Amino acid sequence: MMRAVFGIDVSKASSEVAILVNGEKVHGYTMPNDSLGFNQLLGDLKTVHNPEIIFEATGVYSRRLQAFLEDNGYAYTRLNPLEAKKQLDSLRVRKTDKIDAEKLAQSQFVLNRKPTYVWKKVYQHLRDLSRFYQNLTEDIVRAKNRLHKVLQVTFPELENILSTPTGEQYWNLVMAFPCKDIVLELDREELSDIIRQSTSKRISEKRVAYLADKLTELASQSYCAVKKTSPMIEEVRYYAQELLRTTERRQVVLDEMVTLAQPLPEYDILLSIPGIAETTATSLIGELGDIRRFQSANQINAFIGIDLRHYESGNFIAKEHITKRGNPYARKILFKCIHNIASASHTNPCHIADFYEKRKRQSTIASTKPHTIASIHRLIRTMYYLITHNKLYDYASTQNQ
């Protein structure tokens, strides 16, 4: 029986293709990663029955090849880069793209890897939106830090105008009053008008008067390092405007995620767990996909990289650490999720929070990381059970076990 394997080494603009039949190389070429190159590959795929296609995941560069294969109904095996390196290191002495493509195909005859699971479109869209949401969050944190830094030069006291230096009203006030001179040049009525415009919500006249008085007081006691003609004034306004724009865009992305996730049965199930809100629920669905495809909760642990690495040699047993070889985004979300669950447990009890607090009390070390990892294991088992059995979380039922 003829067995044809296509090994593809994907780069930014082109890919190396090696075609092996029953272990022997019959053809190889370089193709551009565009419609012309993919059509050439399609022609070769059509010449054989049930081709096996192997390539290494190279981030955004392999997404086009992946989409092309899915659009044309071909199964494929996408390898994790670390997994591919370990599997191929013993097969190659030299490393080039052509050699890698051929060795990928050769290794398939030995390892007989299974085709990669193809995500449903709704989960893929949620993952893409989740990554976009997290990138926007990182941009917001970065802009906040830069705004704080430059505001220390122009008008540091302004950070005390509201209870917390963040949000739409605060950033609008920063744009309007980036230095004290601007405040002191305005009369009370002008100050009040700007304060009224600083928020889309209705604000009482008493609140307006309070903020006007406080703004004048802060400006009077401030000593700025620069004058209002300094270019740093525009820098302050720029970061405040970016924060307004990015925060608004992030909310739009979250609304899209919720719209996509709401019809999925796991959405309400995840929301039923105390401490998990819509942002966390939609992000978890996006990063984990349909967790019904996993055979056990331990497979999810490996997927996100919190399975333990064990090393033992003779009488020496190394301290166990998580592998960190899986999805780092999911790992980060779950790590924060445990702390949210612990915070919510004051009013909404959860057995995961009980476990977390018990481990903290029993521990002799200051770090909470080991307890958090252990709690993530328990949370994953809980999510897996609830979703595969289509049940909502019930704290009382966990106390009977």
Residues 6+ apart with CB under 8 A from 42: 68, 72
Name the 3-class secondary structure at 365: coil
Per-residue pLDDT at 373: 87
Q: Cα–Cα distance between 219 and 221 in angstroms, integer?
A: 6
The three-class DSSP label of residue 251 is helix
Radius of gyration of the chain (CA): 28
Tokens for 377? 């294991």
Domain edges within the chain:
4-111, 124-259, 262-398
pLDDT digits (tens, 9 = 90+) for 137-174: 999 999 999 999 999 999 999 999 999 999 999 999 99
Residues 230, 183: Cα–Cα separation, whole Å: 16
> What is 10-75 written as a DSSP string?
E-SSEEEEEEEETTEEEEEEEEESSHHHHHHHHHHHTTSSS-EEEEE--GGGGHHHHHHHHHTT--
What's residue 97's pLDDT? 66
CA–CA separation, 100 and 110 (whole Å): 16
In the prediction, which pLDDT does 341 show? Answer: 95
In the prediction, which pLDDT does 134 show? Answer: 94
* 8 Å CB contact between 104 and 84: yes
The pLDDT score that the predictor gives to residue 385 is 96
- Give me the pLDDT at residue 106, please: 92
Q: Which helix (H) or strand (E) holds 77?
A: strand 77-79
Q: Per CATH, is 124-259 categorized as 3.30.2010.30?
A: no
4-111 fold: Nucleotidyltransferase; domain 5 (3.30.420)
pLDDT tens, 280-314?
999 999 999 999 999 999 999 888 887 654 343 44
Under DSSP, is residue 173 helix (H, G, I), strand (E, B) or coil? helix
Of all residues in the chain, the percent with pLDDT exceeding 90 is 76
Q: What is the pLDDT of residue 352?
A: 94
Q: Which residues of the chain have pLDDT under 70?
A: 82, 84, 87-95, 97, 307-325, 366, 400-401
Residue among 172, 184, 181, 183 nearest 226 (CA): 181
Answer yes or no: same fold for 4-111 and 124-259.
Answer: no
Burial 260-287 (b: 16+ CB within 10 A, else e): bbeebebbebbbebbbbebbbbbbbbbb
Q: How many Cα atoms within 13 Å fall on the side-chain side of residue 207?
A: 13
Question: 311, 319, 330, 322: which is closest to 373 by C-alpha?
Answer: 322
Long-range CB contacts (within 8 A, 24+) of 83-90: 84/56, 87/111
* 3-class DSSP assignment, residue 322: strand
Q: Measure the CA–CA gap between 6 and 383, rounded to whole angstroms.
A: 38
